Amino acid sequence: MSITAAPVSAHGFDAYLAHKRRRRINNWLLVACSVALLAWCFWDTIMFDTDWQRMGGALGIGGTLERFLLIDWSLLPKLLVPALETLMMATLGTILGCVFSLPVAWFGAANVTPSKYFFYPLGRFLMVLSRSIHEIIWALLFVGAVGLGALPGILAVAMRSVGFISKITAEAIENIDPKPVEAIRAVGGNQFQVMYYGIVPQILPVIIGTIIFEWDINIRRSAIMGLVGAGGLGLVFFRQMAMFNYGGVTLVVLAVLVLIAIGEVISHYARKAVI
């Protein structure tokens, strides 16, 4: 019995060892490939692409840092209005984005879309379009279209918000409990009533949470809109940079930091109140 059993178990043991060896070799190959890739990235982007001649010594680097650290506090009173403008841009942009998101989410939710073959792909396409174009590119487009100022910033923020808000909303609509919807249809409710009474109450917490989160992100986005002439703190940043007033640049960065921190606190409490 042991004679017949032995080769089987030996075979099993050998197979196990061989399998383990193969796996170890595979792992080593994977690590080697990753290291090679990393080395190539490092070589190509840092060693090859950096302008070593222009980089100063330790003194030069330290001197530049020092210029940035000597904060120009005299700029502070002039920052209040742009900071408010940034905040307003984020708020209005988010609200406008929500308005645009309504039809997009309706089109792009498979279970309520008016047409599976036309509006559903259209809705999904608009979501991708909104997210695949960077907010700065949107801003450049709108600065070209409606001129300088906060308005192009608001529009850019709105367009960029549509993708996220409508995608999350559409997914929430797809995940609702269908039973209340059936009940509203059974009492004779029309399309609007089915959505308003059957769907909206179910997705409301998700949507409000998403909007608050998006507003939080939009403060960040609004803060850089000025780089392309669309108002707010970014514009001050751009001017200070153009005047080589590094102390002023640092102050603007600090102002953005404070603004975002304020937004963080507000959205934290707002979300708590909703959910």
Minimum CB–partner distance for residue 107 and another protein (Å): 20
In the complex with another protein, which residue's Cβ is closer, 79 or 176?
176
In the complex with another protein, which residue's Cβ is closer, 185 or 239?
185
In the complex with another protein, which residue's Cβ is closer, 103 or 189?
189
Minimum CB–partner distance for residue 198 and another protein (Å): 6
Residues contributing to the site for another protein (CB under 8 A):
177, 179-180, 182-190, 192-193, 196-198, 201-202, 204-205
Minimum CB–partner distance for residue 146 and another protein (Å): 32
In the complex with another protein, which residue's Cβ is closer, 54 or 179?
179
Class of residue 215 by CB neighbours under 10 A (exposed 0-12, middle 13-18, buried 19+): buried
In the complex with another protein, which residue's Cβ is closer, 81 or 183?
183
- Looking up tokens 């909703």 gives 274
Minimum CB–partner distance for residue 122 and another protein (Å): 23
Contact 120, 107 (CB under 8 A): yes
In the complex with another protein, which residue's Cβ is closer, 76 or 200?
200
Minimum CB–partner distance for residue 120 and another protein (Å): 20
Minimum CB–partner distance for residue 272 and another protein (Å): 18
Minimum CB–partner distance for residue 95 and another protein (Å): 19
In the complex with another protein, which residue's Cβ is closer, 10 or 204?
204
